[in-house]
């Protein structure tokens, strides 16, 4: 399976109005999120996509490194939504829902979402989302939503040993490689479709669908924020995207995505 993505092929077949109208591809870059920000600063319109064959400085949440070998799908989309800065966290739910639905529809995988920004298959992370917002005063100038899908590589060959237990890839799960053009096209169409649902019908519908793909609600979880650890029952994710935890003393605590990571206690 060729590792280079044929952007012209994707664009010929793409049925979207604005997401992917402009697609920039390069074989190698530091981070597609940084590249997309540069494009946005130069006036690139909403829906512009920056995609790379490999990232040398891929970034994850909480300042973590994101390993981005050849064969993965690493891209970022520029959005200019009419949202308050505090509401842009909702875009992480939109993007992870789009990825989970696409993986289910294309490959029949039981893809699940985990608060706040992961997509899992068989309990292992297959995709991460990194959303970054540029604000001017109280207004959102643009948001860059970066999507990283572990696709055509074997986890043991390309990712460091400390990730072998917690990460997976399409190749590892399906036992074969997939056509990246086909996956990108389907993802961009799903992203646009759900973005329009979000704008027309509001976040509640996106969140309701997102919740149907979770398996952590109702489970005992640990939430980490720096050195601090919170333990409790994951009771809900509310309309602001906050995790509602029931603590040991019975009280409810809302936790915002920020710098947190969540571990499900099995």
User: Where do contacts with ligand BTN occur on this chain (CB under 6 A)?
Assistant: 31-33, 55, 58-61, 64, 66, 68, 74-76, 117-118, 128-130, 146-148
Bridge-based pairing of strands 124-136 and 243-246 is unpaired
In 3D space, the residue among 190, 95, 82 whose CA is nearest the CA of residue 139 turns out to be 82
Nearer to ligand BTN, 10 or 130 (CB): 130
Beta bridge partners of 127: 119, 149
Nearer to ligand BTN, 15 or 64 (CB): 64
Nearer to ligand BTN, 184 or 197 (CB): 184
Query: Least distance to ligand BTN from the beta carbon of 37, Å?
Result: 10
Nearer to ligand BTN, 12 or 165 (CB): 165
Query: Is 60 within 8 Å of 70 (Cβ atoms)?
Result: no
d(CA 45, CA 38): 12
Residue at shortest CB range from ligand BTN: 128
Tokens at 10, concatenated: 């994707």
d(CA 249, CA 58): 40
């Amino acid at each position: 399976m060729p590792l280079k993505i044929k952007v012209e092929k994707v664009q010929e077949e793409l049925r979207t109005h604005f997401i992917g109208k402009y697609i920039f591809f390069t074989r190698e870059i530091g981070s597609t999120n940084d590249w997309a920000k540069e494009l946005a600063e130069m006036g690139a319109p909403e829906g512009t996509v920056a995609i790379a064959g490999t990232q040398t400085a891929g970034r994850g949440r909480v300042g973590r490194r994101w390993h981005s070998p050849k064969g993965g799908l690493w891209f970022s989309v520029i959005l200019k939504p009419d949202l308050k800065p505090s509401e842009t966290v909702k875009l992480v739910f939109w993007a992870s829902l789009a990825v989970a639905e696409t993986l289910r529809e294309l490959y029949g995988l039981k893809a699940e979402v985990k608060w706040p920004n992961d997509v899992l298959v068989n309990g292992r992370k297959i995709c991460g989302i990194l959303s970054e917002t540029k604000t001017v005063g109280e207004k959102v100038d643009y948001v860059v939503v970066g999507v990283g899908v572990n696709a055509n590589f074997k986890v043991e060959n390309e990712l460091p040993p400390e990730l072998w237990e917690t990460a997976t890839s399409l190749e590892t799960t399906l036992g074969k490689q997939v056509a990246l053009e086909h996956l990108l096209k389907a993802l961009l169409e799903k992203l646009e479709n759900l973005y329009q649902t979000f704008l027309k019908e509001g976040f509640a519908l996106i969140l309701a669908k997102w919740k149907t793909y979770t398996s952590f609600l109702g489970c005992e979880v640990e939430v980490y924020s720096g050195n601090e650890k919170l333990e409790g029952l994951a009771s809900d994710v509310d309309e602001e995207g906050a995790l509602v935890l029931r603590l040991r003393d019975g009280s409810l605590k809302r936790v915002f995505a920020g710098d947190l990571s969540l571990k499900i206690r099995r």
